[in-house]
A = this chain, B = another copy of it.
Amino acid sequence: MIKIGRLNLGNAPRVAAVITDDKNGQSLKNAIKQGADLLELRIDFFKGIEPENLSKTVRKIKQSRLPLIATVRSKTEGGKKSLTDRQRKEIFQHIIPIVDAVDIELSSKNIIKDIVGSAKKQNKKVIVSYHNFKETPSDGKLNKIIKDSKKAGADIIKLAAMARNMQDILRLANLTLKHKNLITLSMGSMAKISRVIFPIFGSLITYGEVGVSTASGQMPLNILKKELELYK
Across the interface, which residues of B come within 8 angstroms of A166, CB to CB? 177, 200-202
Whether a CB of chain B sits under 8 angstroms from the CB of A215 is: no
Counting every copy of the chain, the complex holds 2
Q: Answer whether A231 and B177 are a contact pair too, CB < 8 Å, given A170-B170, A201-B170.
A: no
Given the complex of chains A and B, what is the CA–CA distance between A190 and B202 in angstroms? Answer: 13
> Is A11 close to B, CB under 8 A?
no
Q: Interface SS of chain A: helix, strand, loop or mixed?
A: helix
Judge whether A192 is part of the interface by a CB distance below 8 angstroms. yes
Q: A101 CA to B168 CA in the complex, in Å?
A: 34
Nearest CB in chain B: distance from A26 CB, A: 25
Residue count of chain A within 8 Å CB distance of chain B = 18
A174 within 8 A of B: yes
Determine how close the nearest CB of chain B comes to the CB of A35; give it in whole angstroms: 19
Q: Which residues of B contact A193 (CB under 8 A)?
A: 196-197, 200, 231
A1 within 8 Å of B by Cβ? no
